[in-house]
Amino acid sequence: MHDGQEIRAPRRCEDLAAVGGVFRATDEDFRVDEVPLYEASGDGEHVYLHFEKRGSTTPFAVSRIACSLGVSERDVGVAGLKDRHAVTTQWISLPRVDPARVEALDVEGVRVLSVARHRNKLRTGHLAGNRFTLVVRDACAGAVERAEAIAARAVASGVPNYFGEQRFGRDGDNAARALAWLRGGPVPRDPQQRRFRVSALQSSVFNVWLAARVRDGLLDRWVPGDLAMKGVGGRPWAIDEATAADLYPRGAASASGPMFGRSMDRPGAEAGEREDSALEAAGVRRDDFDGAGPLAEGTRRVSRLFPTEFEVSARGDDVVLAFTLPPGCYATVILAELGVDGAAGVAPAPRMEHPAPAPGGVD
């Protein structure tokens, strides 16, 4: 069983001078603008609401909007979740409501930006990515030049596609709670909580696997048995050494890592052994995911993240960073590469305060 000590997540750019400074002194220091996958057509039974929010999570904002309009939360479509402590913009879809009512929406912390009809409900993942604008305050001398050097490497070579700390819950213990439940502990009553905790456990093992790959100098290199992916959302396939030697260096493909579950594609050879080692290092067993049923179908996640449109500028003594990330990727990972104080942003392994009970055991 994992002893509760967090496994360090090494960075791509540890050899470059850190930027320092402090991130998110205020919510305005963290802006996220959702990039839509497609534009609303202007007709259809669904109404797309583009809105800005402050000081609330996406589920909380959706709940208040749905209540104000008299629609069921279950019928609201959401492409992605946005942070609470930030200024964020995103789209949601609302079924069978008058667009004029949506335009007149009056909900605290929510500002209507646009309203348009469309034919289908928004689904998770119906976004092209997210545009981040982050302010790092009190940065060191030469911080802009340092940030530019790290940004150039990140764009050209990618950075480890870790899950950020947001994935693991407010107290960072969702993975440990999932492990306790799946080994015979109390079952969370809320279905959403069950889903969040299982995904946190999968994500924590992935982070352990990825940290080992970075530490061993294998982020860009082929390992026998690798299942590669072409970017976020690609389909994994078995890649040979010659093909990897062509695709990996130019970022056209990267190794994929495990999001464990009953239907996950499993690599062979050394790549498979490394995934088994990640499970052991995290204190998790393959059969721990069996009790989660369809919540842990299993999938794979690409190992490298390539930010685009990366811009660095100065604002007085502060540094402003602007970049775009694909869906499911975390801005805190970029901040960690920059060496911004307090922005480690990664929790690679379950943090167990007490060993989880064995199946059928007693606490």
- The CA–CA distances, whole Å, from 55 to 86, 133, 237, 244, 334 equal 7, 17, 42, 44, 23
Rounded distance between C-alpha atoms, residue 221 and residue 86, angstroms: 36
Is 83 a known active-site residue?
Answer: yes
**Listed residue (13, 313, 301, 320) closest to 167, CA to CA:** 301
Structure tokens at 98: 């008058």
Of the candidates 29, 83, 220, 226, the residue annotated as catalytic is: 83
Rounded distance between C-alpha atoms, residue 350 and residue 168, angstroms: 9
- The CA–CA distances, whole Å, from 315 to 28, 320, 321 equal 14, 7, 10
Amino acid at 87: V
Rounded distance between C-alpha atoms, residue 218 and residue 214, angstroms: 6
**Which residues are catalytically annotated?**
83
